[in-house]
Amino acid sequence: MPDWGKFKPAWQISKLEMCDPFGWHNLDKAKLDDIRTKLSQFESMTIIEIFVKGKHHHHSIPVEDLEAPAKKRLAELNLPDVEELHRLRLTGKERVWGILAQNVIQLLWWDPDHEVCLSDKPNT
């Protein structure tokens, strides 16, 4: 991983989705506070710590491995150069999805039910 892997993450919200199927628009204040707390905990870590050392929970997923609704939404967003998305696991099912560009994570989707990319593992 390049030197930027030693940097702490920064968040961009310009691509934050506010529509179905994976939008942030349905969050209540308590859940949003919970997510903010968890994301702020990542700010004490480096990109390497998050996505290399923590790769079991937080990692990239190739676009071709996403479920059909996620692929469709990406196509609608006209992001043809995006080959993979990065996910941050917050709980057993809850995920935050984004696009990693160096140490900047462009937040994209809130996935409370683990539907962007299904898993065969129990409790995920």
Residue 121 lies in a domain: no
The size of the chain, in residues, is 124
In a domain, 9, yes or no: yes
Averaged over 36-54, what is the pLDDT? 94
Within a domain: 85: yes
Q: pLDDT-derived band of residue 122, with 50, 70 and 90 as boundaries?
A: low
Residue 72 included in any domain = yes
Q: What is the pLDDT of residue 4?
A: 78
Q: For residue 25, give its domain range.
A: 3-111
Tell me if 12 is assigned to some domain. yes
**How many structural domains is the chain composed of?**
1
* Edge-to-edge strand list for the sheet holding 59-62: 10-12, 104-111, 95-101, 84-89, 59-62
Structure tokens at 43: 């700010």
Report the predicted TM-score, pTM, of the whole model to 2 decimal places: 0.91
Instruction: Give the strand pairing for 104-111 and 10-12.
Output: parallel
pLDDT at 120: 57
Residue closest to 12 by CA, chosen among 72, 114, 86: 86
| Average pLDDT value over all residues in the chain | 91
Neighbours of 110 (CB within 10 A): 23
The domain spanning residue 59 has which CATH number?
3.30.2310
The average pLDDT across 117-121 equals: 75
pLDDT band at 3 (very low <50, low <70, confident <90, very high): confident
What pLDDT sits at residue 53? 87
Encode pLDDT of 72-110 as tens digits: 999 999 988 899 999 999 999 999 999 999 999 999 999
Query: Is 86 a domain residue?
Result: yes
Q: Which long-range CB contacts under 8 A does 101-105 form with residues at least 24 apart?
A: 102/2, 102/4, 102/7, 103/4, 103/5, 103/7, 103/8, 103/9, 103/10, 103/47, 104/9, 104/10, 104/11, 104/12, 105/9, 105/10, 105/11, 105/12
Q: Answer whether residue 1 shows pLDDT above 70.
A: no
